Amino acid sequence: MISAIAAALSSCAGGEKYFEKHAVIPDSATVEQIMDIAARVVPTPNQLAWQQMELTAFLHYGMNTYTNREWGDGRENPEWFNPTAFDADQIVASIKAGGFKLIILTCKHHDGFCLWPSAFTEHSVKSSPYKGDVVKEISDACKRHGIKFGVYLSPWDRNAPCYGDSPKYNEYFINQLTELLTNYGEVSEVWFDGACGEGPNGKVQEYDWKAVTETIHRLQPDAVTAICGDDIRWVGNESGKGRESEWNVTPLAPKVYPNSEALRSALKIEETTRDLGSRELISKAKELFWYASETDVSIRPGWFYHDSQNNHVRSLKNLVDIYFSSVGSNSSLLLNVPPMPEGKLHPTDSVRLKEFGDYIKEAFARDYVVGGTTAQNIASGASVTYAVEPGAKVNTVMIQEDISKGQRVESFTVELLIDGQWITVGKSTTVGYKRLLRFPATTAEQVRLTVEDTRRPAEILRVGLFYCPELGSDSAVAKEYISSSSWRCVGSNGKALFDNDVQSVWGSKDMQPMVVDMGQQIVVAGFTYVPSDKVGAAGVVTKYRISTSLDGESWAQQGGDREFENVVNNPIAQNIRFDAPVKARYFRFEPLESNASDAQFYTVAEFGALLK
């Protein structure tokens, strides 16, 4: 088998052999041979063009915008969808001003409501007072403003009666996909989120990903497919945090591959796993994929617009930090900006987009390295040195690998020659498409990049130095709930629930209700459940009941059985308001379901009361 690899490697022009998107590791390959193959896995032209865009935007808009929810249940009345002043140009122009190159619209979210007049369901804009076609409005505006367009089509559909009847729903899904990929011009990204529930017939839907992929390749050959697609992988959280070591080449098989489950479980890896590409992991791999990550995050706490979050729009500093941990960490940023019910972006969001776009444009307009854009080939242990423009104040270094030849650098150091002395200002692992590292502002005579370890000689495209203005400290977002260290959790030590520290988490041993005694009667408008902020942590409550009491004996349930929507992937504070304020001294929180594998325990980081 080794000679088979050797033959394959030498059979190519110029002695170079690349594996586009996917490589199978021969059983007998040594670790060094596996690393060599890993360094030769390269993106498809579509994947490369997508990664070079760097900034894409999400528009979460739909029925939830009108019901004030994050996940609808599919029973919404289409009459509720009623934009009174829909303005696609305002939306698209604001996003363009942020520097974004592509916009992905939630054409159908989990509630099944279609933003286009689909011929296959009545649950769409055509049954709403609006009557228009939001997909057409947005895609046309994208063309007018010179920005690419993409579609989010939720595989999980809580409205379609055939959901869970696999062949029937697959046909329905492909019909809808075909409409979207045929009637709206060029579609550059197709986004299928991973959520999957049970259909009305009690069966779990088995998707026909092969047919889905074929449909996309046939109708939009230049499109990339994300999440439940095989071109782009979810970074693993919805809070804008990229990895310190981000590899485009990974043994994580896209879920749509037939043997994906077996490959993933053999290595115990999934999208949320911290290490998806180290030497240690790859040396155990059987197959490798070019599967770069996309960091999806919302400009507000929720994905959909909620009036109550108007004071919680991310600050410029926070967005810039996210830029550094996504684009600056070999990922791509997918920033969500949700339109308001009237059908345009809130002024705070559009002003923030402009500030962000201007900041990035200005900060990276001036590169102070002399000759840093000349490509360099650097072996392990070797360095390249460049002059820096005299007197220039710099605080950010940019390094880029030529990923059309693979991703190779495993560790590197950046030093500046300051007053005749070499000072280390950056040290890390992966580079990939783009790596940005910040350091305290200084002037320097020279900059030196040393590649300590690389899987093959590193193909460095660029070394740049920039000055990114300081943005001060990020003002903490005020929490909306109250709690007190004098509150008690009846029957258990619940200190962690009221200590204002989301890192300390209270855990139950079973699914018994938790009773909170606030010590005195107060009028409460609702309550807040704060889950552990670690994505993937077990014990997050997804379904529950909540009751209040004046005396701890007779209880009034507030609403029916309830659901925390999208809490597992986006574990932010869940503020739940009652229909009307109630007087209470006690809360009883009854978990009905958690994401623990056997759903037999649950956790709470903080618990509080809402006063308004």
Residues that bind ligand FUL (CB under 6 A): 70-71, 193-195, 296, 303, 566, 569
Q: Regarding beta strands 292-298 and 232-234, do their DSSP bridges make them parallel or antiparallel, or are they unpaired?
A: parallel
Which alpha helices (H) appear in 121-164, and where do they start and end?
134-145
Q: Are the C-beta atoms of 65 and 305 separated by less than 8 Å?
A: yes
Strand partners, 556: 548
Number of helices followed by number of strands (H, E) in the chain: 12, 30
Least distance (Å) from ligand FUL to the CB of residue 142?
19
Least distance (Å) from ligand FUL to the CB of residue 342?
21
C-alpha to C-alpha distances, 489 to 24, 513, 526, nearest whole angstrom: 54, 11, 18
Least distance (Å) from ligand FUL to the CB of residue 322?
15
- Name the residue with the smallest CB distance to ligand FUL: 193
CB atoms within 10 A of CB 209: 21
Least distance (Å) from ligand FUL to the CB of residue 105?
12
- Cross-sheet strand order for the sheet of 22-24: 22-24, 287-290, 249-250
Phi, psi of 417 (to 5 degrees): -90, 110
Least distance (Å) from ligand FUL to the CB of residue 75?
17
Least distance (Å) from ligand FUL to the CB of residue 385?
44
Phi, psi of 268 (to 5 degrees): 55, 50
CB atoms within 10 A of CB 144: 11
Closest of 38, 33, 30, 35 to residue 290, by C-alpha: 38
Residue 296 or 402: which CB sits closer to ligand FUL?
296
Residue 298 or 549: which CB sits closer to ligand FUL?
298
Residue 303 or 386: which CB sits closer to ligand FUL?
303
Identify residue 348 by its one-letter amino acid code. T
Residue 69 or 456: which CB sits closer to ligand FUL?
69
Least distance (Å) from ligand FUL to the CB of residue 195?
4
Residue 189 or 193: which CB sits closer to ligand FUL?
193
Residue 67 or 407: which CB sits closer to ligand FUL?
67
Least distance (Å) from ligand FUL to the CB of residue 600?
24
Sign of CA dihedral 342, 347, 352, 357: positive
Residue 326 or 508: which CB sits closer to ligand FUL?
326
Residue 234 or 433: which CB sits closer to ligand FUL?
234
Least distance (Å) from ligand FUL to the CB of residue 154?
7
Residue 305 or 506: which CB sits closer to ligand FUL?
305
Which contiguous run of DSSP H or E holds residue 597?
Answer: none
Residue 199 or 372: which CB sits closer to ligand FUL?
199
If you ran DSSP here, which 8-state letter would residue 514 be given?
A: E
The tokens for 438 are 């910040």
Closest of 504, 611, 538, 527 to residue 573, by C-alpha: 527
| DSSP string for 293-312 | EEEEEESSSSSS--GGGGGG
Q: Regarding beta strands 102-108 and 148-153, do their DSSP bridges make them parallel or antiparallel, or are they unpaired?
A: parallel
Q: Are the C-beta atoms of 585 and 550 separated by less than 8 Å?
A: yes
Least distance (Å) from ligand FUL to the CB of residue 210?
22
| DSSP string for 515-529 | EEEEEEEEEEEEEEE
